[in-house]
Structure 1
């Protein structure tokens, strides 16, 4: 996911499947503009929704929340995974060359 603007540190990002099951919830400790989520729970041809903001009642460890529920977050985008890598921006699914400032994954 590539956001059009830098997001504040601590802003929760949560991914849920079509049955409202949480795949991942985290709050980065630094400002961010890109998010990458990888999980064995993600399935090809399945539908997901990404939320930002709000709070979580789960237990936080290094920014990741375990258990609990997310409350008050805003729905950002719903999408279906059709490829091994699915690129998103705030307007919807996109391609790697149109996902952000460079369109390329950041390497460290």
Structure 2
């Protein structure tokens, strides 16, 4: 866990993003989660959502994030993310159709 926290903290300091758009709040969420502070993790995930983050499949499905998904606010956060993803998917499909 210490190594993971060190890597995540370094990413925050460097404002590094991996695999596309990941706001800094997501890194802070991961650290809070690793420390067992689910309330802080949820608060940071909600903050990331204000920056138009779409929840990744790893957070949705990996066993590691089970406690996060059990939080009472998870369904609303997930619904917001899924709605945002659906809008982006439709935009993408429209662009693909127009390009053909």
Q: RCO (CA 8 Å, sep 6+): is it higher in 1 or 2?
A: 1
More strand by share: 1
User: TM exceeds 0.5?
Assistant: no
Question: Relative to total residues, which structure has the larger helix share, 1 or 2?
Answer: 2
Q: Could you tell me the TM-score, scaled by structure 2's length?
A: 0.27
TM score, norm. by length of structure 1: 0.25
Structure of larger gyration radius: 2
